[in-house]
Structure 1
Amino acid sequence: MNHIIETKDAPKPIGPYSQALKIDNFIILSGQIPIDVISNQIPENIAEQTYLVLKNIKLILVHAKFQVHNIIKTTVFTTDLKKINIINEIYKKFFIDNKSNFPARSCVEVQKLPKNVKIEIEAMAFKK
């Protein structure tokens, strides 16, 4: 059985989709972009954007009673792969700080993302 996951702690979807969908022991998160839920602002630089996206992912997971260590796969979309070292630095720190192994990951450069952000990340998590 599946359940739509929705929390006010993370940005509302900007289109006709759910923040996440829980199916049994899996949760599939829609791509998250770096919108600050309190200020509704988007940071300028890629480091701050990456951190905010990961923070929003964590907030959705926690709302669904999952944790960062439950993430099994992420897909990173960025408008500039030349910034991959910065993205990787923030990404690595996030998973280490949350005492998590690194999940499987794909990273793709795209021409443009919603609201002209520099990064979007989607995730899947599983727990027993």
Structure 2
Amino acid sequence: MKEKIQTNNAPAPTGPYSQAIFQDGFVFISGQDGIHPNGESAGETIALQTEAALRNIESILKEAGGSLENLVFVTCHLDELTEENAHEFNQAYRKYFEQVENKPARITVGSQLLDGKVEITAIAAIGS
């Protein structure tokens, strides 16, 4: 059975979608960008926006009964995929996964984002 996951510790959806959906032991997390739960921008840098997006993902996972340890796949969108931006992104991303033994599989792509520099979607396995 499909179940909506919603927390006040991440930004509310701005359109017709859920923060996350739990189905068959997996949590599918909608794109999280560099926005604080109150809707304010985390800042102009890739690092600040990456940290905010990952905090949001972490909060959603906690609401679902999991943690970053449960992530199995992450899709990362950068507004400009350059070596410099990828490096800044990876430095911020690395901090969140230092303690995670089995880091999730990941893809990082360049995307035309509506707002901001970073958006991250994720899939986690939490159990049935």
TM-score by length of 2: 0.91
> Which of the residues 87, 90, 98 maps onto 1:88?
90
Q: Match of 2:96, as an amino acid?
A: F
* Contact kept in structure 1, 2:11 and 2:39, CA below 8 Å: no
| Aligned pairs, number | 125
Identity over aligned residues, as a percent? Answer: 38
Q: Which sections of structure 1, spanning at least 5 residues, go unmatched?
A: none
Structure 2 unaligned residues grouped into runs of 5+? none
Deviation by residue 1:36-73 (Cα, 9 ceiling, x = unmatched): 11462341111000011001000000011011100000
Correspondence for 1:13: 13
Contact 1:75 1:106 in 2 (8 A): yes
What is the CA distance between 1:105 and its match in structure 2?
0.7
Q: SS of the counterpart of 1:81?
A: coil
* Counterparts of residues 6-85 of structure 1 (less than 5 Å): 6-38=6-38, 40-82=40-82, 83-85=85-87
Using the TM superposition, give the Cα deviation of residue 27 of structure 1 relative to its aligned residue in structure 2, in angstroms.
Answer: 0.3
Distance 1:74 1:127 in 2: 15
Runs of 4+ aligned residues of structure 1 deviating over 3 Å after TM superposition are: none
TM-score normalised by L of structure 1: 0.91
Q: Deviations over 1:1-30 (max 9, x none)?
A: 110011111001111100000013110001
| Distance in 1 between residues matched to 2:120 and 2:87, nearest whole Å | 16
